[in-house]
């Protein structure tokens, strides 16, 4: 892409802004397309980060964590956003490039047009050029003869001869005013052209590095860089709008004033005092320009990513910790159902239930008895469980004393049978 150069003179401002805008768009467009090309450094970085992202999700599933519906949707959304913005210029251009470069101008045209500010309807460079040429004409014409200025005779050495020359008496204010005119033009050009060009190239650099910063969205550790990239783009947009509005106000004040001063100097009228006032006004607006840029960047720092994108890694860490703690202790955490119980605990529960049915209200089996039942299973998995004898416990079912089937005979009945 071939961009025009800078032309000195009356076309300096227009050529400067046109060349800066052309180079900024070239850097943003061609820089992104080169980095998004397969085989570039940004493309290799994106491929590696996507591989790591998929591998981490696979390890999470191997460790026993089943991703929820929300986590799965968020992960798929992140992958889709990264691939769409980092590899497709057709998607990236309207969402990022055209938005950053075009949205501030449209807002300025709406707001500034309604307020009647000059330079907000697409003729900003031309109107800045008018003011710059007016300040240049004032510098050439000077301030003019001050009122009450006296002429004095001074002796000058001209061509080796001493001659008397009539000169106007100079006071300190008259010496400062030409310097103030030159300083006014310098401050005006630096504040207007410097603010516009700085914001243009800052946005161009961020847009060119878009494929790299978009890839940082995948991981929690690098997501702050992606958020900072978004804040930078948002800051340049807000600052461009603020600078354009402030520049429109400055043009509304300076353009008729400078035109009036140039007309007065064309009529051989003095403009004593105006140069210092011009320098003060341009200095005030220069400070306001850079203050507006800092304020816009401060506002952009308030941008935050959704909390859901940061909650998934934290839940993963908690699940891994719970999983390893649960396996190490042999039981599930409190408040959660046990996934797998030991064989000894299951046998002990069965014995307790049987004893309760047989006892019918007798003393229950104590915890020590249950531990004694489960002891062989812990020491030797193949050992047979033998319950301990619990005091005051009824005999097991089938081991009670057999009932006598013979009828009971009294002692008198036995003696009567012997006498017979």
Separation in Å, CA 9 to CA 183, 196, 209, 222: 18, 20, 36, 49
The pLDDT of residue 312 is 47
Contact 184, 278 (CB under 8 A): yes
Residue 245 belongs to some domain of the structure: yes
Contact 247, 119 (CB under 8 A): yes
The pLDDT of residue 4 is 87
Separation in Å, CA 268 to CA 8, 144, 262: 28, 7, 10
Contact 262, 254 (CB under 8 A): no
Q: For residue 161, is it left (φ>0), alpha (ψ between -120 and 50) or beta?
A: beta
Q: Are residues 287 and 377 in the same domain?
A: no
Beta strands in 126-182 (DSSP E): 151-158, 161-168
Question: Residue 82: which residues within 8 A CB-CB, separation 6 or more?
Answer: 46, 50, 214, 215, 217, 218
Q: Are residues 172 and 217 in the same domain?
A: yes
Between CA 183 and CA 282 the distance in angstroms is 9
Q: Are residues 381 and 268 in the same domain?
A: no
The pLDDT of residue 418 is 62
Of the residues 252, 283, 305, which one is the last residue of a structural domain? Answer: 305
The pLDDT of residue 334 is 44
Q: Are residues 178 and 290 in the same domain?
A: yes
Q: Within 10 A of 107 (CB to CB), how many other CB atoms are there? A: 17
Q: Within 10 A of 374 (CB to CB), how many other CB atoms are there? A: 19
Q: Which residues of the chain have pLDDT under 50?
A: 152, 171-173, 311-313, 326-340, 361-363, 367-388, 390-391, 400-403, 405
Residue 326 belongs to some domain of the structure: no
Q: Are residues 379 and 275 in the same domain?
A: no
The pLDDT of residue 107 is 93
Between CA 248 and CA 122 the distance in angstroms is 11
Tokens of 297: 């960047």
Q: Are residues 141 and 239 in the same domain?
A: yes
Three-class HEC string of 77-104: HHHHHHHHHHHCHHHHHHHHHHHHHHHH
Tokens of 291: 């203050």
Q: Are residues 209 and 347 in the same domain?
A: no
The pLDDT of residue 383 is 47
| pLDDT, tens digit (0-9, with 9 covering 90-100), for 256-283 | 999 999 999 888 888 888 889 999 999 9
Q: Are residues 236 and 364 in the same domain?
A: no
Residue 239 belongs to some domain of the structure: yes
The pLDDT of residue 347 is 67
Q: Are residues 29 and 162 in the same domain?
A: yes
Residue 43 belongs to some domain of the structure: no
HSE-up (13 A, CA, CB side) for residue 53:
23
Q: What are phi and psi of 124, to 5 degrees?
A: -65, -45
E strand or H helix at 304 = none
Between CA 247 and CA 195 the distance in angstroms is 10
| pLDDT, tens digit (0-9, with 9 covering 90-100), for 297-335 | 999 988 887 665 554 445 555 555 555 554 444 444 444
E strand or H helix at 169 = none
Residue 3 belongs to some domain of the structure: no
Q: Are residues 137 and 255 in the same domain?
A: yes
E strand or H helix at 399 = none
Q: Are residues 193 and 274 in the same domain?
A: yes
Q: What are phi and psi of 152, to 5 degrees?
A: -125, 155
Domain coverage including residue 356: 341-391
Residue 286 belongs to some domain of the structure: yes
Residue 310 belongs to some domain of the structure: no
**Which position has the token pair 């009450």?**
148
Between CA 40 and CA 2 the distance in angstroms is 24
Residue 192 belongs to some domain of the structure: yes
Q: Are residues 296 and 357 in the same domain?
A: no
The pLDDT of residue 382 is 47
- How many structural domains is the chain composed of? 2
């Amino acid at each position: 892409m071939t961009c025009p150069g800078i032309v000195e003179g009356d076309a300096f401002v227009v050529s400067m802004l046109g060349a800066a805008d052309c180079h900024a768009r070239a850097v943003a467009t061609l820089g992104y397309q080169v980095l998004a090309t397969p085989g570039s450094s940004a493309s290799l970085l994106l491929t590696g980060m996507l591989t790591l992202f998929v591998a981490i999700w696979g390890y999470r599933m191997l460790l026993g964590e089943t991703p929820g519906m929300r986590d799965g949707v968020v992960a798929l959304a992140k992958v889709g956003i990264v691939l769409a913005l980092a590899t497709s210029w057709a998607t990236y251009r309207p969402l990022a490039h055209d938005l950053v470069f075009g949205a501030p101008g449209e807002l300025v045209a709406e707001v500034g047009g309604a307020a009647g500010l000059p330079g907000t309807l697409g003729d900003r460079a031309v109107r800045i050029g008018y003011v710059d040429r007016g300040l240049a004409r004032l510098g050439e014409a000077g301030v003019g003869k001050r009122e009450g200025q006296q002429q004095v005779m001074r002796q000058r050495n001209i061509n080796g001869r001493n001659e008397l020359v009539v000169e106007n008496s100079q006071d300190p204010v008259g010496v400062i005013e030409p310097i103030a005119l030159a300083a006014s033009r310098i401050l005006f050009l630096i504040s207007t052209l410097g603010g516009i060009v700085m914001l243009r190239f800052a946005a161009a650099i961020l847009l060119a590095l878009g494929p790299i910063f978009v890839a940082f969205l995948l991981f929690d550790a690098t997501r702050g860089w992606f958020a900072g990239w978004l804040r930078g783009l948002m800051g340049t947009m807000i600052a461009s709008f603020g600078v354009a509005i402030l520049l429109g106000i400055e043009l509304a004040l300076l353009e008729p004033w400078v035109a009036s001063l140039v007309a007065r100097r064309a009529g051989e009228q003095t403009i004593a005092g105006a140069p210092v006032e011009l320098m003060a006004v341009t200095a005030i607006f220069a400070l306001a320009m850079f203050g507006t840029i800092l304020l816009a960047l401060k506002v952009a720092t308030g941008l935050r990513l959704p909390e859901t994108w940061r909650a998934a890694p934290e839940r993963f860490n908690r699940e891994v910790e719970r999983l390893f703690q649960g396996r190490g202790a042999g039981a599930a955490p409190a408040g959660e159902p046990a996934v797998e119980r030991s064989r000894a605990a299951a046998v002990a529960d069965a014995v307790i239930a049987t004893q309760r049915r047989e006892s019918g209200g007798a003393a229950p089996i104590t915890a020590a008895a249950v531990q004694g039942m489960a002891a062989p299973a812990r020491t030797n998995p193949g050992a047979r469980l033998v319950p301990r004898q619990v005091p005051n416990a009824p005999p097991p079912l089938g081991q009670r004393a057999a009932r006598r089937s013979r009828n009971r005979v009294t002692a008198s009945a036995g003696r009567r049978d012997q006498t017979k």
